[in-house]
Every structure is written in C-alpha cells, then in structure tokens.
Amino acid sequence: MKSNASNPKRSDFPSNQDTAIVPLETVASEKQLEAARSQLLVYAKDLKQLLDKEEKKTLQLKQAHAQLLTYAKDLKLALNAEQHKNSELEQSYTDTMLRLARASRYKDEETGAHIERLSHYAKSLALHIGWDAKRAQGLFAIAPMHDVGKIGVPDAVLGKQGPLTDEEWEAIKQHPVLGASLLSGSASPLLEMAKEVALTHHERWDGSGYPCGLQGKQIPIAGRIVMLCDLYDALRSRRPYKPAFSHVKATDIMLNGNERTKPTHFDPSLLEVFREMHHQFDEIYSTVKETKDSPKPSP
C-alpha cells in the first residue's frame, strides 16, 4: 500500500483562484510611474534650490536698491549744497564787478539809467532771437560790466569836452582790453560772458571796430547784442559831441546810417530783429528815466 506522503493531494497545489497573474503592461506602467515620481522629486529639489537662489538674489537687489536710494539722497543734498555755494560765489563775483562798473561810470558821461536800460535792451533782444530765459537773464546781469575797463582810462581823457587827439583816442580804445583783463581768471560762466562782452562790445560786423578788428561771427553773439543796444542808447543820450536823439531818429540812423553809424556795423540778423521790435527799446527808454534835469531828446 502506497504512502500518502509520496502521493500529494491535489489540494496541495495552488489553483488559478489562489494566485493572480499580473499582466506585463501593468508592471511596466508602475515602473514608469515610479521613475516619473523620482524625476519629479529631483525637479522639485532643483526648483526649490533655484527659488532659494532667486529669493536671495531678490533680497540682495532690494538691499542694493535701498543703498542706492540712500546714496542718491546724499548726492542730491551734496549737489544742492554745492550749487548754493557756487551761486553765492558767482553772486559775489557779480556784485564786485557791478561795483566796479558803477565806479567806472562816475568817470564817464554814462548814467545809472543808461546801465539799467542796457540790461533790459540786451535781455529783450536775446529773448527775441531765441535765447532761453536763464541765458538771457545772465546777459541782463553782466551787460552793465561792458565798460568796466574805463576805470583804467585817465579822467582827463574821459571827461574831455573837445575833440580827442590821436593819443587820447588810442587810450579810449584800450578800455575793452582793460575790462576783459579785470574780468578774466574766473571759472564762472557768467563772468566769462562778461569778459567777452567787455572785450568785444566795440567790434563791428564789417571789421571796422576795435580793439581787435574782429569781423562777422568772429565776434561773440553776446558782444554783438550789447554793441547794438549800447549804440541805440548812446544815440538816445546826450554826448559831448551830440544832443540826445528821439527814438525815431535813433532808429533811422541804425537802420539807414549817417556819417558816424552804418548798418554794416551791426550783425544783419540782429538788425532785422531790432527792426521788428524797436518799439520795445523805446518803451524801455521811456520807463527807465534819467534824472529830472536831463536834457530832452532832439527830434
């Protein structure tokens, strides 16, 4: 009789119902999902590191921006202080030169009203040719310094009532050079313009002026403006060699010429502007009066 041990029972073997067979496709999908999860974890780690770096960089940028704002504020304060200092220094230079200009006029026939009118003429003409307000105001400030060099001309020559000798005329013709010398050596743009005006306000467009015989645009524009304005007011004012002229006569002389003054003496573009706005010159002359005992203009 055979032993049961050598003859296993059918129940000892697993049946299809006890052991499920997993399809190969499912196994592959699970592996892919696991690989994807692993890759996502790597991406998440890298992204966190990147975000941490960006946050650090953003913080650094914010700190740098805050520091720049502080620097900008300090720089603005420093610039304002420097501009104030420069403005005070330039005003000090200007005040000194104006005192010299006033001192020089006591030696000459020019009056305080002439000096004041000259500033207004020059500013008005400058604005009409397109200068901005700041530049025109600068010309207004320095125009009175045009004859500051007369302080170095002998009183006997400046006050002489009769005709000048050749030697005396040469002394007069040196006052632009003397004035430029007095105004030189400053870093101020305003006084640099004043020096140009002092040196060139007797130069003429056609080259017949003094002291250098400059011609055309060799003459700085500020000098050309002051020359025209100075001549107009000289025609309106009494001089040892002439009476005071009316506005009509002064304008006619400038536009058409006479034995002393020629239209070719002036920058032609400035003369055309004067032709258009000469009534403003008359208004300025009428507003800024001489003293009550000044002679009336001749017709």
Domain that holds residue 169: 80-287
pLDDT at 55: 83
Confidence of residue 9 (pLDDT cuts 50, 70, 90): low
- Residue 150 annotated to the active site: yes
92-140 residue pLDDT tens = 666 666 666 666 655 555 567 888 899 999 999 999 999 999 999 999 9
Q: Which of 31, 150, 195, 296 is catalytic?
A: 150
Number of Cβ atoms within 10 Å of the Cβ of 97: 25
5, part of any domain: no
67, part of any domain: no
Measured distance CA(15)–CA(115) in Å, rounded = 128
What mean pLDDT do residues 67-84 have?
71
CATH number of the domain to which 239 belongs? 1.10.3210.10
Confidence of residue 219 (pLDDT cuts 50, 70, 90): very high
46, part of any domain: no
Q: What are 10's two structure tokens?
A: 């059918």
Measured distance CA(198)–CA(176) in Å, rounded = 5
Number of domains within the chain: 1
259, part of any domain: yes
38, part of any domain: no
68, part of any domain: no
What mean pLDDT do residues 6-17 have?
52
Amino acid at 205: W
280, part of any domain: yes
Q: What percent of the chain has pLDDT over 70?
A: 77
11, part of any domain: no
Residue 220 is classified by DSSP as -
